[in-house]
Amino acid sequence: MAKKKSNSKKAPKTVIKKRSKRGANGVKTTNKLEGLAESVVDNAFGRREPAIDIPIRALSNVSFNPKTRYIEMGDRCQQRSLFNYGQAKRFMQTLLVASKCKELVDADKTASIRQIYYLAKHTIKGTKEKTFDGQDESDPVIEDLEVALEALREELHVFAGSKGALIGELTFVDSGDTIDATKLGSGGYAIPSIVEPSVIQFKKCKAEYVLHVEKDTVWRRFVEDRFWEKHRCILTHGGGQPSRGVRRMLYRMHDELKLPVVCLLDNDPWGYYIYSVIKQGSINLAFESSRMAVPNAQFIGVSSFDYERFDLTDDVKIELDANDIKRAKQILNYPWFAGKKPWEREIKQMIKNGFKMEVEALCSKNLTFVTDEYTPQRLKQRKSWLD
Amino acid sequence: MEDQPAGAVGLVSDITGLNDTNIKLEPQHSTSRTQETLTRTKASKVSKKKSRTPRASAESMAKQQREISISEFFARNRHLLGFDNKRKALLTSVKEAVDNALDACEEGGVFPEIYLEIKQLSEDRFRMTCRDNGPGIVKAQIPNIFGKLLYGSKFHRLKMSRGQQGIGISAAGMYGLITTGKPVSIISRTGKGKPAHHYKLAIDTKKNKPDIIADKTVEVPWEQGTEIEIEMVASFNKGRQGVAEYIELTAIANPHTTIVFKGPDKKVIEFLRNVDELPEQTEEIQPHPHGVELGVLMKMIKETDSKQLGAFLSSEFSRVSPRIAKEVCAKAGQTQRTWLQSIGPSDIEKIYNALQETKLRAPSTNCLAPIGAEAILNGLLKGIKAEFYTASTRPPAVYRGNPFQIEVGMAFGGQLGSLDASNGDDKSKQPTTARVIRFANRVPLLYQQSACCTFKSVVDTKWNKYGLSQSRSTLPQAPFVVLIHMASVWVPFTSESKEAIADYDEIRKEIKLGLSECGRRLGTYIRRKKKRSHFAQRRDVFHRYIHEIVESCRAMTVCNKDDLRDALSELAERATEAADMEFDDHGKIIAKRKGGDSEMDNTIVLDESDQAPPGQMQLFSNGDDAAPRKVKRAKKSKKTSTKPKKKSGKKVKKRK
């Protein structure tokens, strides 16, 4: 996950940078990149086959830490070697991306993951082969580098496209510009890929909690009805699976502003998993859980029991297919879901219902049902929230 | 009439229109099957008259009944000798002339040098000239040899030789005479100081006698040999089943021969001798009782000098000792002393059966002269441009009392094509189908391939296990040539036209064993080659990325680009050592593994650097920047690829 392609048209061409990002972190990253190259050179001169150790980013190499309540990455590594027929190209690509990151760090510029793809893509001398056949080859390499070097994406001066937006009772500074998030019209503030304290500093917060909704369309409903004003909250959305920028923002608001985070997501396995990523971190980016996961986040809906609870009609139903059921069972088996009785009931109820519900489906009652009745009621029914 | 072998009936009915004639033949030459059956027809006095004109009386018919000569018979039935059509007539003439020339040279102990020319005189008229450097022919014999059918030296003996019947060359001359009216021209010289005699001969078909048209002494630029010139109506076709293929195949099976061929297009093709040993002269053997038919036995009894049965058996047959002769006589209800004259037809049958039942030693095999695995390799090298050659000579075996020996040769790859192309990876190329080349006593067989025992054996072999692709019951789809040679004192042809070998179990078994022996070597080679190219491909990939890695490392840290490139290249070479076989061990892979690898005897692998993967060459040739190592490599591999293929690349490993 989080591998969503950023569209180059959408991505800002240059990042506004008024403050130099080359702090202590920048120097450190340069060292790490140099170290990577040095190990290859040393191995080569030492007549050893050069290889890079890359921690495995898969379910098999993550574990749920009950103390911290988020997913942590194990220490199992995969060796990526140049002289292995199956890995040679990946090895070359890793070094190539690393060298491009080094250039970015040295020049104090940032590039989107798609720009990295174009920076590193060229025809290999004397052949017709391209270094990268598509962005789906370069994106995982960037993630590999992050884990291998223990450097964050922003430390490598790479960002993804903005996805997700924010609006509500918050004032903050982004790259030197003060932004009052109550005065953002209908579009809100697009959460950038990098929201580190070096870029964004919080100033004033009147909100009592953060309400995260799944998609842009639902979020607009809430904005139009000025839900944030009535309920004194901050409204965010992640455009589906939230990007790292959105998650990091949620974390910072929770961590620095001490705001509780509640989620209003679709009643389907994908909605559950979005919640899980916000709360516990993702498998793929488990190495960043500690700075992104919000273990206290709560799931307020849509719940499988809401069909009866709110006396909904058949029109809200979308039938579950085999894929949904399979995914639901998979989620139920994740260690961080297992053993949580309410969740077990919730997921089992969905399978029993045989249908799933989108947040938008609540409009079948009336357009503002979700903002006028459903959400306020659910916010009061604390006991039926899911943890 | 009741003793008459079945074959005779068929033959008599062949003589269309002559059924009513009392067939009389000159009795002095009579051993071949054809001849024998004709003789027998005469002996049993064909008297059944199927009168088509009922009004004719015995007397009026007697007027028409007269002797026909063998020449006249064949003049009418020339298809029996391979002169069925214009195209085949030319080929058969060439075949007879070349076979005679080779036999003459070998018997005379000289390395054959044959010059053959086909000249087109008009649209369907050709002149064939064939000259050899053999011992020549004495003046008195020239008219008989070339002007008389069934006159020769190979006829009366059981010995491995090319021609067997002695009809060939005079039949060719007769064909020429019939179609063009031009006599045969022969020049022969028996030695340096001797005169060269020039004869022009026509055959008197009625009397089967030569008709000398011109006889003079001429000056010739060559020291010894015979030159024959026949003009005939014919047609010349290129490609398969043509004269050119015949010459090519003859050169393969006779690497001790130099053949120069000049076709109607005036192009000269030369096949030079590349073996310095003449085939061993074979010994003549007596017939083995198990290979003799009843009719032959009857004739032998009639013609023998022995007076008594025991003496006859032990002197006329091989592997029949006096003790065994006694045993046979007892079984047949006779004694060794029984006078041959007193033995009737039914007794002969008993003796025949007794002979077949008695256990006998297999016939001696010193009558066989195989080409030899090494000579086959040389022959294949000469005629077929491939990259892998192997050959094997089976030990002698016996079918129906006749000793025989099978030899198999294989050529694969090289200019025949690549395996990938035939596997359909390269869509632009048509898949190559394997080719079978067949020989009987060193004579190429061009027609009736699918009726031949050798072809059936090739098709029945499971080539998939030797790394070639093959659909059910077809030739494998591969750039591949299989050579099969059968050497025998009596090659069992399926028909008189001598085009396909009959399917005897014993022969089939030997062929299969030979094919699998060579097939295993081929399979080993193909597997090794695949492995090599596999590693070469890997190396190629590694080298391709090294440049990128060097550039990346240089961008991140301080290092010497050239040193790093060298270090990484060295590691890449080490990681793909197996591919080195292709770069510096051409063909030596096999030689290297002395001792343990006895199965790779008699195998040649040629330099295959010209088949290096194209990607690699491309990579090296584009090394425009500072990449001295790559340029060096490119030179190296170029050098190896321009090596003269045959001389430096090959390595023959000898048996023993």
- Dump pLDDT digits (tens) for B604-622: 776 544 333 333 322 233 3
Residue of B nearest to A126 (CA): B619
Residues of B with Cβ-Cβ distance to A132 under 8 angstroms: none
Q: Does A96 touch chain B (CB under 8 A)?
A: yes
CB contact under 8 A, A47 and B571: yes
HSE-CB for A131 with a 13 A CA cutoff: 26
pLDDT at B35: 44
Contact criterion met (CB below 8 Å) for A242 and A164: yes
Range list of β-strands (E), B351-509? 388-393, 397-399, 402-412, 435-440, 443-445, 480-488
The pLDDT assigned to B258 comes to 92
DSSP label at residue B77: T
Cβ contact B542–A36 (<8 Å):
no
Which stretches of chain B score pLDDT less than 70?
Answer: 1-54, 66-68, 70, 149-161, 163-167, 418-431, 496-497, 578-601, 606-656
B618 CB neighbours in chain A (<8 A) are 126-127
Helix or strand (DSSP H, E) at A89: helix A88-107
A44/B545 touch (CB, cutoff 8 Å), yes or no = no
CB atoms B564 and A85 under 8 Å: no
Nearest residue to B97 via CA among B43, B65, B134: B134
Where residue A234 falls among pLDDT bands split at 50, 70, 90? Answer: very high
State whether A89 and B541 contact (CB < 8 Å): yes
Distance separating alpha carbons of residues A133 and A303, to the nearest angstrom: 42
Distance from CA of B535 to the nearest CA of A (A): 10
Class of domain B78-271: alpha beta
Distance (Å, whole) CA A160 – CA A162: 7
The pair of three-digit structure tokens given for residue B615, joined into one six-digit string? 């990607």
Phi-psi region of B380 (alpha: psi -120 to 50; beta: other; left: phi over 0): alpha
Q: How far is A263 from chain B (nearest CA, A)?
A: 44
What are the chain B neighbours of A141 within 8 Å (beta carbons)?
A: none
Q: In chain A, what are the domain boundaries? A: 24-159, 165-384
Q: List CB contacts of A31: < 8 A, sequence separation 6 or more.
A: none
Q: Which of B556, B573, B396 is nearest to B486 (CA)?
A: B396
pLDDT of residue B644: 37
Q: Tell me how far apart the alpha carbons of residues B170 and B145 are, in angstroms, rounded to a whole number.
A: 7
Inter-residue contact A274 to A238 (CB < 8 Å): yes
A47 in reach of chain B (CB within 8 A): yes
How near does any CA of chain B get to the CA of A99, in Å? 5
Which chain B positions have a beta carbon within 8 Å of A103's beta carbon? 555
Is the whole model's pTM more than 0.90, yes or no? no
Residue B654: in which H helix or E strand, if any? none
- Cβ B455 vs Cβ B449: under 8 Å: yes
A124 contact B CB<8A = yes
SS3 B158: strand
Class of domain A165-384: alpha beta
Does A49 sit within 8 Å of B575, measured CB to CB? yes
Task: Select the residue of B542, B622, B625 nearest A88 (Cβ to Cβ).
Answer: B542
Which positions in chain B touch A125 (Cβ < 8 Å)? Answer: 547, 622, 625
> Is A44 in the B-facing interface, judged by CB distances under 8 Å?
yes
The shortest CB-CB distance from A127 to any of B575, B615, B625 is to B615
| Chain B nearest CA to A327, separation (Å) | 39
- Which amino acid does the sequence have at A7? N
Residue A383 has pLDDT above 50, yes or no: yes
ipTM: 0.73
Cα distance between residue A288 and residue A244, in whole Å: 9
Q: Where are the beta strands (DSSP E) in chain A?
A: 51-55, 62-65, 70-73, 77-81, 111-112, 158-159, 165-168, 170-174, 177-180, 189-190, 200-205, 209-213, 233-237, 261-264, 298-301, 318-319, 355-356
CA distance B103 to A272: 94
Sequence ranges of the domains in chain B: 6-68, 78-271, 289-357, 370-541+579-656
Q: CA-nearest residue of chain A to B619?
A: A126
Q: Which chain A residues are closer than 8 Å to B572 by Cβ?
A: 83
Q: Are strands A261-264 and A209-213 parallel, antiparallel or unpaired?
A: parallel
**CB of B91 closer than 8 Å to CB of B242:** yes
A350 touches chain B (CB under 8 A): no
Cα distances (angstroms) measured from residue A385 to each of A242, A264, A302, A304, A316? 21, 11, 10, 12, 21
| ω into A173 cis (within 30 of 0) | no
- Is A118 one of the catalytic residues? yes
b/e code A355-368 from CB counts within 10 Å (16+ = b): bbbbbbbbbebeeb
Exposure letters A277-311 (e unless 16+ CB within 10 A, then b): bbbbbbbbbbbbbebbbbbebbbbbbbbbbbebbe
Residue range A214-239: mean pLDDT, rounded: 93
Same fold, A24-159 and A165-384: no
Give the 3-state secondary structure of residue A361: helix
A24-159: CATH number: 1.10.10.10
The full DSSP string for A29-68 is HHHHHHHHHHHHHHHHHTT---EEEEE--SGGGEEEETTT
DSSP state of A209: E
Active-site residue (options: A70, A85, A117, A118): A118
Banded pLDDT at A115 (limits 50, 70, 90): very high
Q: Which CATH number fits domain B289-357: 1.10.8.50, 3.30.70.260, 3.40.50.1000, 3.80.10.10?
A: 1.10.8.50
* pLDDT of A250 strictly over 90: yes
Identify the sign of the CA torsion B459, B464, B465, B468. positive
User: Do B322 and B436 contact (CB within 8 A), yes or no?
Assistant: no
B/e letters for B624-645, b = 16+ CB within 10 Å, e = fewer, are eeebeebeebbeebeebeeeeb
Burial A143-181 (b: 16+ CB within 10 A, else e): bbbbbbbebbbbbbbbbbbbbbbbbbbbebebbeeebeb
Name which of A45, A91, A126 is nearest B567 (Cβ-Cβ): A45
Report helix angle A135-149 to A88-107, nearest 10: 70
> Do A303 and A262 touch, CB atoms closer than 8 A?
no
Site of tokens 């050579």: B483
Q: Do the Cβ atoms of A37 and B622 come within 8 Å? A: no
Q: Give the closest residue to B180 by CA, choosing from B139, B124, B138.
A: B124
- CATH architecture for segment(s) B370-541+579-656: 2-Layer Sandwich (3.30)
- Where helices occur in B254-372 by DSSP H, the ranges are 294-303, 309-316, 322-331, 345-357
C-alpha span between B133 and B583 (Å, rounded): 45
d(CA B104, CA A362): 108
Closest among A102, A84, A120, A128 to A37, alpha carbons compared: A102
* A44 closest CB neighbour out of B556, B564, B619: B564
**pLDDT at A5 (0 to 100):** 40
DSSP letter string over B19-38?
TTS-----TT---SHHHHHH
